[in-house]
Amino acid sequence: MQKIGVFVCWCGSNIAATVDVEAVAEAVKNEPGVVFSANYQYMCSAAGQKLIQDAIHEHHLTGIVVCSCSPRMHEATFRKTAESAGLNPYMVEIANIREQCSWIHKDKEEATAKAIVLAKAAISKLRNDTPLQAGTSAVTKRCLVIGGGIAGIQTALDVADAGYEVDIVEQRPTIGGRMAQLDKTFPTLDCAACILTPKMVEASQNEKINIISYAKVEKVSGFVGSFKATIRKKARFVDETKCTGCSLCTTKCPSRKGKNEFNMNLDNRGAIYIPFAQAIPNVAVIDPEQCIKLKTGKCGLCEKVCSAGAINYKQEDELIEREYGAIVVATGFKPIDPSPLNEFGYADNADVVTSLEFERLMNAAGPTKGTLLRPSDGKHPKTIVFIQCVGSRCEENTKRGKPYCSKICCMYTAKHAMLVREKYPDTDVHVFYIDVRTPGKNFDEFYRRAAEQYGVDYIKGMVGKVAKEGDKLMVQGSDLINNEQVHIAADMVVLATAIEPDPTARSIGTMLTASMDTNDFFTEAHPKLRPVESPTAGIFLSGVAQGPKDIPETVAQAGAAASKVIGLLAKDHLVTNPCVAQSNELMCNGCSQCEKVCPYGAITYVEKEVRGPGVREVRRVAQVNPAVCQGCGACTVTCPSGAMDLKGFSNKQILAEVDAICRW
């Protein structure tokens, strides 16, 4: 028979104000197995923990029930407390009488009754608990970073700085991401390339960092400390080790129909191209969709002009398999396509552009070499209208865009407006805004400068219609402060389009079993206290993959993610969760159902001699790899014969809890 101690926590007034804690301690006193019960103001405090330890020693307790907050909060605390008093840490049960009781009830009598039931359920479970031993697993001291934008680069640099190997897998032919496409950065107006490209070079020269570009992660298996990833490195038809990046081939290529993705499709590039001058790796890549040689077998001009002999039309995709201890998701974002919001006329008018397109039109390395010329006729625009919140802050049911604020648009619009007024003072600039949101160091000052010093006309209101009239774009919008409808004849309209996670994020999330919200942003383990970790152990989040953020925030988060990775990789071994599935071979009928539902690939089937009362035969039975099993319990509910059980959460234990609740 077990000797159980029950400890009821007040949590200050969090629990005690709604639950009669003394009554709870009193009510469970005579439950079978309970030899001690107490209540205390803060059970998690040093004094509270001492009370538990003293009781364990004094009453020779074999298990304890703590009635307190959610086990997510303090289960680990009380397990440690019990362990240091000589108890097996898995002989600790938590009855959650805060989140699931005091916080959601108002009536003290009812809440107290419920708290007693929850305590009794935990006691019933504890009576069926058995001591469990945690094992250990080794940590592979290598980190995988998915995405080579500023987030991925910063995380990789910081992890490499601590001495660990890092692989950056980037889907595009070069690292640099969105930041490489930007012209200037707010609020300092320093040029994006000037601050980013040195970091790109640093990453490429760091001997601990291995950049795998033009590649994607195809498969991930394993678990924290011991992931196994398959990376597909797409054929670029150019030998990376030979190409010198002279770019002669790119100028000679006769195919000119490929859209230049780096310039937001505003101009064309050759079939063989280098995305931009500072690309890393600075190696050409052939677009097989556009290459005449690859499509028809004729041409081969690039091969002829390449003095390094780097062109290889027969190159094939390469599969790389590697093991990693930690994985960082830094998949970034893309702007939404504003075409469905047809009142802005984006699809019909070349001079209605998104902010990222405008960024390229202002960029010295862009399609217009930094001179602001409108796409339709190459003329200088004299009147420009900026529209904020395009596709942001929309109620979900309206299907007009994203429900969230994209966060960066107010600042980059102020930046664009300011840059235009600085470079072309004779240009009229109007900005339609709903709210100007500028929380951030020197952010509001920046916006005020745009309005006050640069004379940018900020109009509180929204645009209802953009229509082409002659060579003008007629913008109709509301001016809520003046309570009038305004009509502006503009030469160019710039849409501050919402940002959304990169389209690959969802499949990567599924591959990593890392949870995401309804907008496909990765969910953090705790919104305040664990902002850079996924709830899935060993998966870390960096940059916009987790939610909209600007460059300084991204860099800060990337560093934070790196520190978490380093903390993990610094360990030689990890303590594994002993609450894993186990199969009763005598009951297993070999149906394979559990193997199919296991999200971690922890279950295999073996032919094995099974011995039991009256049984001695070779059968096909399920076997669980405890190092891989994460204890999700999917197999236990799937198993038709009841052979599969989860240690620490066995069917017997769960049913004992249910019985205790039903007896009430």
Partner 1 sequence: MENNAKFLTETALRISGVNPRKCMKCGKCSGTCPNYDAMEYHPHQFVAMVEKGQIEKLMQSKSIYLCLSCMACVERCPRGVEPGKLVEAVRLMQIRQQDKNHKGARDIPEFADESVPQQLLMAAMRKYRK
Q: State the nearest-atom distance from the C-beta of 341 to partner 1, in Å.
A: 9
In the complex with partner 1, the residue whose CB is nearer, 208 or 400, is 400
- Rounded-to-integer distance, Cα 647 and Cα 3, Å: 21
Helix (H) or strand (E) holding 422: helix 409-423
- Rounded-to-integer distance, Cα 575 and Cα 55, Å: 27
In the complex with partner 1, the residue whose CB is nearer, 41 or 478, is 478
Which residues 6+ apart lie within 8 Å of 22 measured at CB?
A: 39
Give me the 524-563 binding string for partner 1, x by CB under 8 A, dash otherwise. Answer: ----------------------------------------
**111-132 core/surface letters (b: 16 or more CB in 10 A; e: else):** bbbbbbbbbbbbbbbbbebeeb
- Rounded-to-integer distance, Cα 661 and Cα 379, Å: 76
- Rounded-to-integer distance, Cα 532 and Cα 200, Å: 23
Which residues 6+ apart lie within 8 Å of 143 measured at CB?
A: 156, 159, 164, 165, 166, 167, 324, 325, 326, 327, 328, 565, 569
- Rounded-to-integer distance, Cα 110 and Cα 467, Å: 63
**Window contacting partner 1 (CB under 8 A); options: 19-27, 53-61, 83-91, 457-465:** 457-465
Single residue of 241, 296, 397, 518 touching partner 1 by CB under 8 A:
397
Give me the 400-439 binding string for partner 1, x by CB under 8 A, dash otherwise. Answer: xx------------------------------x-x-----
CB 67 within 8 A of CB 6: yes
CA-closest candidate to residue 496, choices 382, 370, 341 = 341
Give yes or no for residue 489 binding partner 1 (CB under 8 A). no
**565-593 core/surface letters (b: 16 or more CB in 10 A; e: else):** bbebbeeeebebbbbbbbbebeebeebeb
Q: State the nearest-atom distance from the C-beta of 464 to partner 1, in Å.
A: 3
In the complex with partner 1, the residue whose CB is nearer, 221 or 478, is 478
Tokens standing for residue 125: 């479970």
In the complex with partner 1, the residue whose CB is nearer, 127 or 437, is 437
In the complex with partner 1, the residue whose CB is nearer, 395 or 617, is 395
Tokens standing for residue 425: 């003072």
Give yes or no for residue 265 binding partner 1 (CB under 8 A). no
- Rounded-to-integer distance, Cα 524 and Cα 545, Å: 10
Q: State the nearest-atom distance from the C-beta of 466 to partner 1, in Å.
A: 11
In the complex with partner 1, the residue whose CB is nearer, 241 or 398, is 398
Single residue of 13, 485, 592, 604 touching partner 1 by CB under 8 A:
485
Residues in binding contact with partner 1, number by CB under 8 A: 24
Give yes or no for residue 482 binding partner 1 (CB under 8 A). no
Q: State the nearest-atom distance from the C-beta of 18 to partner 1, in Å.
A: 30
Q: Compute how many other C-beta atoms are within 10 angstroms of the C-beta atom of residue 50.
A: 12
DSSP code string of 71-102: HHHHHHHHHHHHHHTT--GGGEEEEE-IIIII
Phi and psi angles of residue 471, each rounded to the nearest 5 degrees, phi first: -100, 15
In the complex with partner 1, the residue whose CB is nearer, 307 or 483, is 483
Q: Is 200 helix (H, G, I), strand (E, B) or coil?
A: helix
Q: State the nearest-atom distance from the C-beta of 467 to partner 1, in Å.
A: 12
Give yes or no for residue 461 binding partner 1 (CB under 8 A). yes
In the complex with partner 1, the residue whose CB is nearer, 389 or 456, is 389
In the complex with partner 1, the residue whose CB is nearer, 209 or 341, is 341
- Rounded-to-integer distance, Cα 27 and Cα 10, Å: 16
Give yes or no for residue 464 binding partner 1 (CB under 8 A). yes
- Rounded-to-integer distance, Cα 588 and Cα 471, Å: 76
Distance set, CA 426 to CA 382, 421, 459, 474 (Å): 7, 7, 19, 20
CB 421 within 8 A of CB 457: no
In the complex with partner 1, the residue whose CB is nearer, 219 or 465, is 465
In the complex with partner 1, the residue whose CB is nearer, 493 or 562, is 493
Task: Encode 237-283 in three state secondary structure.
Answer: CECCCCCCCCCHHHHHCCCCCEECHHHCCCCEECCEECCCCCCCCCC
**Window contacting partner 1 (CB under 8 A); options: 51-59, 153-161, 442-450, 472-480:** 472-480
Single residue of 219, 380, 465, 663 touching partner 1 by CB under 8 A:
465
Could you say which residues in the range 321-350 bind partner 1, by CB under 8 A?
343
Q: State the nearest-atom distance from the C-beta of 125 to partner 1, in Å.
A: 45
Give yes or no for residue 480 binding partner 1 (CB under 8 A). yes
In the complex with partner 1, the residue whose CB is nearer, 344 or 447, is 344
Single residue of 462, 474, 511, 597 touching partner 1 by CB under 8 A:
462
In the complex with partner 1, the residue whose CB is nearer, 306 or 336, is 336
Give yes or no for residue 256 binding partner 1 (CB under 8 A). no
In the complex with partner 1, the residue whose CB is nearer, 205 or 398, is 398
Residues making up the chain, counted from first to last: 664
Give yes or no for residue 463 binding partner 1 (CB under 8 A). yes
Give yes or no for residue 632 binding partner 1 (CB under 8 A). no
CA-closest candidate to residue 34, choices 10, 55, 9 = 55
Q: State the nearest-atom distance from the C-beta of 495 to partner 1, in Å.
A: 14
Give yes or no for residue 393 binding partner 1 (CB under 8 A). yes
CB 249 within 8 A of CB 306: yes
Which residues 6+ apart lie within 8 Å of 159 measured at CB?
A: 143, 145, 166, 208, 328, 562, 565, 566, 569
Q: State the nearest-atom distance from the C-beta of 440 to partner 1, in Å.
A: 22
- Rounded-to-integer distance, Cα 272 and Cα 278, Å: 16
**Window contacting partner 1 (CB under 8 A); options: 113-121, 303-311, 372-380, 471-479:** 471-479
Q: State the nearest-atom distance from the C-beta of 477 to partner 1, in Å.
A: 4
Q: State the nearest-atom distance from the C-beta of 568 to partner 1, in Å.
A: 42
**Window contacting partner 1 (CB under 8 A); options: 45-53, 372-380, 476-484, 547-555:** 476-484
Single residue of 394, 511, 566, 655 touching partner 1 by CB under 8 A:
394
Tokens standing for residue 650: 């066995």
Give yes or no for residue 365 binding partner 1 (CB under 8 A). no
Could you say which residues in the range 34-93 bind partner 1, by CB under 8 A?
none
Interface residues with partner 1 (CB under 8 A) are: 343, 389, 393-395, 397-398, 400-401, 432, 434, 460-465, 476-480, 483, 485
